[in-house]
Amino acid sequence: MKRLLVAILIVCMASAMVFAQGGEEKPAQKVSMNIQHNLPQTETWQVGFEFIRAEMMKRYPEQIDSKIYPNGQLANNNWATIFEQTQENVIQMACESQVTLASLVPELFALSTPFMFEDMEHVLRFMAEKPSFVDDWFAKLETKNLKVISYWPRAPRQLLNSVRPIIVPKDIEGMRFRVPAMDLFVTTFQAMKANPVPLPSGEIYTAMQLGTVSGEDNALSTQYSTRTYEQGKYINVWNYMGDGVLVVVNKDWFDGLSADFQKDLLEVAAASTEVVLKSTIEREKIARDAMGKAGIQFTDFTAEMKEPWRDLMGPAYDAIKKTIGEAAWNELVKVADATR
């Protein structure tokens, strides 16, 4: 009888130990969520990433290990290296302009078709329609181990010059403008009968100062922060080329996250778009006010004023159509017109 009681006691103790072990909560798995972008800490990309980081750490306070690296600190300020580091999971999250990511997926150039979009809000309305061809282009990024989790607005490009007001196409003929070293920009300025000069962004100020070029195209806030406006006199506010920023993560990293973490990250990333839009609008206003006080003369283009410029864009449109295909081009124009 005594042996039986001992045996029962041992079984009970073993069962209790198994139950206790089964009832223990496993510690939450640590998630590295390091972020890098190529702009200064004072810029809107930092604002957007600080929002994402803060909101995710509220939801997972003990789980996330995260740091933001502005100015491309880990990549020597090189956007191509930032892409590579994200693809290789050196960092988990990054962002870049859609025209820059077009170096990986050329179709993305179409999202910056000249004179297609009226302003930032128009671009966002277009993207909110979730055109199937855009999803197809984003899927091509996934084959390169980059997953798009959000689309941020970026201020449209405006034209700065030091020579004269540019109202009609004849005003720009023969003038030399710095452009990014990308075919879309070169083709667009050639279609205007201007002379595009591809140069790195860091050389714009000196090129204008020396008279190598008469001007550049960039967002107002960029012209202000880089001080290129100091070498100019006139700015066309014509939103001639819409822009956007793709927030991307390492796809393998994302696929390895829990379903709840994925859901929360996508939700927070979507909410960050409004934060970035507000910050961008504020920065553009600050830049315009400051440059106006410095003597810059602005010309605000109406839809009618843009028409003769749009009529010149045949070569640029043909190049884009060739890249994305006739069906996608027709759908792009249709959705852009419907959301205008």
Backbone angles phi, psi at 116, to 5 degrees: -100, -35
Ranges of H-type helices in 97-255: 98-101, 120-128, 132-142, 183-191, 204-210, 220-225, 251-255
- What is the maximum alpha-carbon separation in the chain? 110
Q: What distances in angstroms separate CA 280 from CA 8, 46, 122, 138, 225, one per listed residue? A: 72, 11, 15, 24, 13
Asked if 94 contacts 82 with a C-beta cutoff of 8 angstroms, the reply is: yes
Q: Which domains can be identified in the chain, with CATH numbers?
A: 29-338 (3.40.190.170)
Block residue for tokens 């290789």: 88
Contact yes or no for 145/267 (Cβ under 8 A): no
Q: Is the model's pTM score more than 0.85?
A: yes
Determine how β-strand 215-218 pairs with β-strand 234-250. unpaired
Question: What are the 10-residue block averages of pLDDT along the chain, 340 residues in total?
Answer: 40 40 55 96 96 98 97 94 98 97 96 97 95 97 98 97 98 98 96 97 96 98 96 98 97 98 99 98 98 99 98 98 97 97
The rounded distance, in Å, linking the Cα atoms of 159 and 298 is 10
Q: How far is it, in rounded angstroms, from Cα 330 to Cα 312?
A: 19
CA 89/CA 254 separation, integer angstroms: 10
Question: What is the Cα–Cα distance from 32 to 312, expressed in whole angstroms?
Answer: 49
